Structure 1
Amino acid sequence: MSDLAGWLTGVLGQVPRDLGEYERALTHGSHAIATYERLEFLGDRVLGLVMAEWLFELYPTEPEGQLSKRLNALVTGAVCADVARGLAVRDHLRLGKQARDDGASDSDNVLGDVMEALIGAFYREAGLDAARDLVRRLWGDRPRRDARAPQHPKSALQEWAAANQRRPPEYTVADRSGPHHAPRFTVTVSVGRADEASAEGANKHEAETAAAAALLARLTVSKGMKT
């Protein structure tokens, strides 16, 4: 058994039948034309369905809005990347030299997408029941960690602005740097001329979320905002 097959067997809990499909799930565009992108598209939907079903079972009395908050927090690129790091996915990535030199093997964007691609490849090979078992095993206790559904920073900031008669938060991309496969975005958010904060992220959404969290923290201290 090859090193890749052995690693996948440990991750998946069974010997992979089509190693080529998993090789593609691990392949970045800097390495070959056939990349993980299509499998990532599929895996993203499988992960969303499995997680939604799981949360529906775990929290039978919560309304849709609370379940959506939990779902959104559990399927982010950062969480998928964290799962991937725990599985040592980075050791098996197929990257071009420039991408490796630029740090793509530790990029949340790349690792998160590859994690979803692996889920997509496993779903195609083993079906939904097996994919469900895989996701639940890999995500472990993450869905149970928060007794209350987490409030997304952007939603919390918008609610604060409305409650304090401020204009809705405005997000502006202040800078974009880094290579295509591992970009860094700097976003500034404001709720008026005096109150603003900036933060970085691997994509616009991540940077906006971090900026909203930073501004919320500042408002909490300076204006005694209730949490």
Structure 2
Amino acid sequence: MKHNEKEIQLLKDEINQMWRLVISQMEKAKQAFLNNDAELALEIISLEKRVNAFELKIESNCENYIALYSPVAIDLRLVLSIMKISIALERIADYADGIAHHVIDRDCDSLDHKVIEELELERMFDILLNMMTDSYAAINAENTASSGKILARDAEVDDIYELAFSRLGEILKNHPDQIPCGLKLILLIRKMERIGDHCSNIVEDIVFYIEARVLKHSGDRAE
């Protein structure tokens, strides 16, 4: 194996490690939220610095690779995609950290537990986790066949977000005493909607790497 091939494999290994960590953070965020598990939420928060360290290390290693080897074609697309994916993963982890803080800080469990099922928040978590695991599988298989399906799930997340926002507004209209808690829950749902956006960005980066095709603003995202 040539030296530059070893460096490419190292970059792949690092982004995979970061990816698995962020998936784990999201799985824990789901469980912490649904079970009101403050101890698990603290575990998520404690691992946030590790995610940040991964992002900085990957960025540095990608920049060094470009400077040393001046890659072109698919190698360049891979390195650029890894850099962008690491940034997206770090932001997803930030939102998982925000969900963990919501679990620790919230003082309105009665409202949260009553509306979780109605707002379909568990389903929202599951869709996001599926997007993350399927995109992880896609880049490692170097196969974009599932990209359209993954991107379509972001539309599902958006639909849940809009319906949840509307339903929560009706609930708070009838229970104005719960408005402070409801506003916190709206912020949490917004975090989850943004995670879906970052998952879509990751899929776009994978398609760019493998197919040399730019989906952003192209109108081809659902193909």
- TM-score computed with the length of structure 2 as normaliser: 0.29
Which structure has greater helix proportion? 2
Which structure has greater strand proportion? 1
Question: 1 or 2 for the larger relative contact order (CA 8 Å, sep ≥6)?
Answer: 2
